[in-house]
A and B are shown apart, each in its own frame.
Chain A
C-alpha cells in the first residue's frame, strides 16, 4: 500500500464544556475518497479544523506527506497542499466570479498589475469545465448558491492540492451539479489526490467513496472499506443503535400517510402568489392534518413560496388565507397572528438569534402572550421553555445556554420549539433536517408526523427526495416559480416526482 498522504494520529481536542475529539486517528492515501461521517457534534468539523490548522490539537499529531504538520490556519494548509470546501460558501460575494477564483494568485502583467483580460479568459475556461457558463465578470453574489459552490470547488482544486476536504459539498447543489461534482472527484481520484468527503447523504457516500470513518461523540467508532459495510450497519455505527433496530425503523422516521379529512376546508390557501422574477402565480391549499410537500429543483421557487405564505416576501399579487380568512396585511407579524409559523431554510441567518439563550429564542415569538402590560412573566416563560425543551428533547446545558453553542440538530429543535410555542395552525418547514445529524433528523421527522396527526397543516420543503416523498401526503411540484404538477395518493413516489420534474423541465 502506498504511503499515506495524511495521517492523523491519536488526536484529542477539548473545548470548554465538550470533549470534541478523543484519541481519533484517521488515514488518507493517495487517490482515496474517504467518507467522514457521524452525527452532528460527533467531531467531524473539529477534525477538519484540526487538519487544516484552525485548531491546535491538545494531544496527538497530524502528519502530512510523512512529516508532522502544524499549519497556521487554512491558508497555510492550502499552500502546503490541503484545500477545503466548506458547507457555507467561503467567498466574497461582491467581487467578480473571476476575481474570487483567482483571489490571492491573480495573473499579473509586466507592471505587476492584475491582468484582467487573462484572468477573465482563464476563469471562463476553467468554469466551463464545471458546467458554469455565466459571465465571470459579474459579482459572485448574483450567482445561484449551487453555482457559487462550484466556483469554490474550482478554486480549491485549481491550486495543486494533494488533499481536498469537502464538507457537505452537495447540500446546496442541484442533481446536475452533483453529477459535475462527482465527475471532478473522479478526475482528482485519477490524479492521486486524496479526498475527505463529509456528507449526510448515504447515496452519495456509496456512489463515490472508497473507505469510511465513523465518529461518534468525539470518538472513532469504525474505519474501513465502505464496500464491506452495508447501509444499515453504517447507520447503526453512526447512531450507536443495534442494526436490527435501525432496519425495523426504516431510513426515515415518517409513519406514512395521515388521514387528512378531505372534506374539511383547507387551513391554508395560497392563491396566485406572484413576485417579480421569483413567483408566477403559485396556488395551493393545505388541509388540517395534511403534509403538503413542495417539490422541484433548486431555484424553482420553493423557499420563496414558503416566505410568501409567511408574509416575508413582498408580493405583487396573490392572497394567503388561513381558515378562509385572508391575512389583513402580508407581513410576518400578521401571518404569525393568523397562525402561520415558519422555519426558514437558513437557521443561522434567518432563524435563530445565536447570541441569545435557548430560553430567549424559544420565547421570542410569543412574548406578548407571556406578558402583561408589556412586562414579561419569567414564570410563564420558564413553563413554556421547559415544556418544549422536554417535548423536543433539546440537549443543552440549560435554558440559559447560548444557542450558538449548541449542535445543529439542537439548534433546529430550538427553532421548532419557538414555532410550536406560538400554537400555530400551519407550519411552514423549509429544509427542516438540513445539516443535522441522523438522530435529530429522525426525531424531527417523527415530530412532523405527530404534529400533522394533531391536526396541523404542514408545508414541507426538502431537497432530500426520500424525505419529501415519505413525509408528504401530497406533493406540489414547482418550476420557475409556478406550479407544474401535483402528486396525490399512489403517485407520491420518488419516480413520479423525478418524472414530473423532468417533464416540466423539457
Chain B
C-alpha cells in the first residue's frame, strides 16, 4: 500500500528557504564573529568576550521564557516589569539573608505569572492585552515597593553572584547556560513541552485531545515570569544596585527579537531554544560591533530592525511554501 514517491531532490532555493529560518541565525553569528576577529581590536581577548557574555545574560534568560510563551502562540510583554519587581524586592529582604531575598524575588515573579496565566487561560484575554496590563502594573508595584528610590546593595554574598566566576566564567553566565539547557530539555523531552507545542499549533484540537490546556498555559506564563525575575536578580547582582525605574526597560522587545531571529515562529507550535540563545548573541554582537567601530547606537538599532525583518520574512517563506 505504501507509495514511495520518487521525486528529484528539492532545488537549492527551496532547500535554502527551509534552511534559512532554522539555521540562518547561526551563520549570522559566525559571520559577525569572523568580521570582528578580523577588524575589531582586542575582540578575541577574554576580557572582551567576558563582557559580551555578561551583558547578554539577562536577555538570554528572559528570552528563554519568552520562547515558551511564543510557542503557545502567545506573547509576554510584562517581563521587563517583572525584572524590575524582582530587583525591587531584593534590597527589601536582603536583611534576612541572601537566599530569602532571592526566593521572595522569584515569588514576586511567580505571582505576576499566575495573574498573566490566569487572565489568558481562564478569563480568555488575549496574551498581548493581559501582559500589557501587567507591564504597566508590574513596574508600578516595583516603584511603590522601592519608594521610587535607587538602592545600593552592600550584601557581599549577593554581590558575589554578579562578580565572581567559576572556571573563569561568571556565575551569571553559568546560570543562563544551565537555564537554557533546562528549558531545552523541557521542550524536547517532557510531557509539558509536547503539550505546550500542541496548544500552540491548534488549541481546540489540544483541548479535545484531553490536554489540560489551562493548566499548561498558566504554567508557561509562570515560568516566563519566574525566569524574568531571575534575570532581575542577576542584573541587580551585577550592577550592585536596584533601580526599579530602569531595570528591564524594553527588555521584552530584545527578548522577542532574540526568539524571532532564532527561528521560532510567532504562530506557535515550534520552539527553537538554541536558536533563541543564538538570536540574543547575534543582537549583542551587533551592538558591540557597531560600538567598537565607532558607529552610533542608533545605527545599531536600525541594523537590528533590518535583521528582524529578514528573520520574519524568512519564516514567512517557510510557512507558505
Instruction: Give the interface of A toward B (CB within 8 A).
Output: 14, 16-19, 217, 310, 312, 332-333, 335-337, 342, 344, 349-356, 360, 363-365, 367-368, 371, 374-376, 393, 395, 418, 422
Would A350 and B269 count as touching, CB distance under 8 A? no
Known: A349-B204, A351-B205, A371-B191. 12 other contacts (CB 8 A): A14-B7, A17-B7, A312-B207, A332-B207, A332-B208, A332-B210, A333-B211, A344-B205, A353-B197, A355-B269, A356-B201, A360-B194
A367 adjacent to B195 (CB under 8 Å): yes
Q: Is the CB of B2 within 8 A of A364?
A: no
Residues of A within 8 A of B14 (CB): 16
Pairwise interchain contact A365-B201, C-beta atoms closer than 8 A? no
User: Does B190 make an interface contact (CB < 8 A)?
Assistant: yes
| Selected A-B contacts with CB under 8 Å, 13 pairs | A17-B7, A312-B207, A336-B210, A350-B205, A353-B269, A354-B202, A363-B194, A364-B194, A365-B210, A367-B191, A374-B190, A374-B192, A375-B189
- Contacting residues, chain A, for B270 (C-beta < 8 A): 355
Q: In whole Å, how far is A85's beta carbon from the nearest beta carbon of chain B?
A: 23
Bound: A88/B57 CA distance, A:
48
**Taking the complex as formed, is B209 at the interface, i.e. its CB lies under 8 A from any CB of chain A?**
yes
**A19, A336, A353, A395: the one within 8 Å of B2 (CB):** A395
List residues of chain A with CB within 8 A of the CB of B208.
310, 312, 332, 342, 344, 350-351
With both beta carbons as reference points, the residue of chain B lying nearest to A443 in the complex is identified as B1
With A342-B208, A374-B190: A17-B5 Cβ-Cβ less than 8 Å: yes
Name the B residues within 8 Å of A355 (CB-CB). Answer: 201-202, 269-270
Q: Check B212 for interface membership: any CB of A closer than 8 A.
A: yes
Answer whether residue B10 sits at the interface, using C-beta atoms and an 8 A cutoff. Answer: yes
Contacts of B202 in A (CB 8 A): 349-350, 352-355
Could you tell me if A335 and B7 are in contact, using CB atoms closer than 8 angstroms? no
Interface extent on B, as a size class?
Answer: 20 to 34
Number of contacts between A and B (CB, 8 Å)? 91
* CB of B228 closer than 8 Å to a CB of A: no
Residue in B195, B205, B210 with the greatest tally of chain A CB atoms within 10 Å: B210
**Residues of A with C-beta under 8 A to B190:** 371, 374-376
Q: Contact check, A364 vs B211: say whether CB atoms are below 8 A apart.
A: yes
Q: Which of B1-56 contact A (CB under 8 A)?
A: 1-3, 5, 7, 10, 14
For the complex formed, measure the closest distance between the CB of A320 and the CB atoms of chain B, giving whole angstroms. Answer: 15
Verify if B206 is at the interface (C-beta below 8 Å from A).
Answer: yes
Asked if B198 CB lies within 8 Å of chain A CBs, one says yes
Q: A333-B212, A355-B201 are in contact. Are A18 and B192 (CB under 8 A)?
A: no
A16: chain B residues at CB < 8 Å are 7, 10, 14
- Which residues of chain B are near A342, meaning CB under 8 Å? 208
Nearest-neighbour CB distance to chain A for B274, whole angstroms, equals 19
Question: What residues of chain B lie closer than 8 Å to A393, measured between beta carbons?
Answer: 1
Residue of B nearest to A378 (CB): B189
Q: Which residues of A contact B1 (CB under 8 A)?
A: 393, 395
CA–CA, A482 and B73, complex, Å: 38
5 nearest A-B residue pairs (beta carbon) = A336-B210, A353-B201, A365-B209, A355-B269, A367-B191
